[in-house]
Structure 1
């Protein structure tokens, strides 16, 4: 289970990526395709076309971390339909953990949760 602070967002690139890309190539994709800043401390998730490989790029403590996983059989199943424009999906840490463990989240149902009401601005 990933334990990330709630301030860390997880962006999944909907466009298939060449898995030969490393730190610099993925940083370019984060800036140009996802329109995010790679030095933000957020996680950026990339899959290849067949979705049997994944890379996660993360800036932490003055350097980039690159995590990779290759499945020997099967493919990763994304929890949401992919946007047509090739932009990003935002995931929760639990969704990323289950996705990397091979659990298909399409059949799962998220129960409604309480949300605090929006703050009223003083005018």
Structure 2
């Protein structure tokens, strides 16, 4: 995943999601809860309640792709729900996040 994808925008979804949801369920969350554009090639990040797993969803012009990562001992630092502004990451931030590092803004 790292450096295999060049995304114009990277959006972490602020709430934890039920991790049995697959592509259609995660896409429905974005469509119903946000005004963010799917067709732009944006990447959407989801995490579980324990914050030790992450799913990465994006549209690649031919269909949706879904990536999954589980941290063995660490937890992902995630933006809180109370923050109202749209939170985006850079490609560098995404690479660090997927490597298990804390991303700060």
TM-score class, shorter:
0.7 to 0.9
1:77-116 residue pairs with structure 2 within 5 A? 77-78=77-78, 81-84=79-82, 88-106=86-104
Equivalent position of 2:6 in the other structure: 4
C-alpha deviation, 1:88, in angstroms: 4.7
Hey, which bits of structure 1, 4+ residues long, moved more than 3 A? Answer: 85-88
C-alpha deviation, 1:65, in angstroms: 0.4
C-alpha deviation, 1:85, in angstroms: 6.0
Q: Which runs of 5+ in 1 are unaligned?
A: 111-123
Q: Deviations over 1:52-111 (max 9, x none)?
A: 010010111311100000112221123xx42416775211111011011011234xxx8x
Equivalent position of 1:120 in the other structure: none
2: CA distance, partners of 1:102 / 1:44: 17
CA contact (8 A) 1:14 1:87 kept: no
Greater gyration radius: 1
Equivalent position of 1:63 in the other structure: 63
User: Normalised by the size of structure 1, how large is the TM-score?
Assistant: 0.73
Q: Secondary structure at the match of 2:92?
A: helix
**Coordinate RMSD, CA, aligned:** 2.2
CA contact (8 A) 2:13 2:45 kept: yes
User: Normalised by the size of structure 2, how large is the TM-score?
Assistant: 0.84
Equivalent position of 2:26 in the other structure: 26
Higher relative contact order (CA 8 A, sep 6+): 2
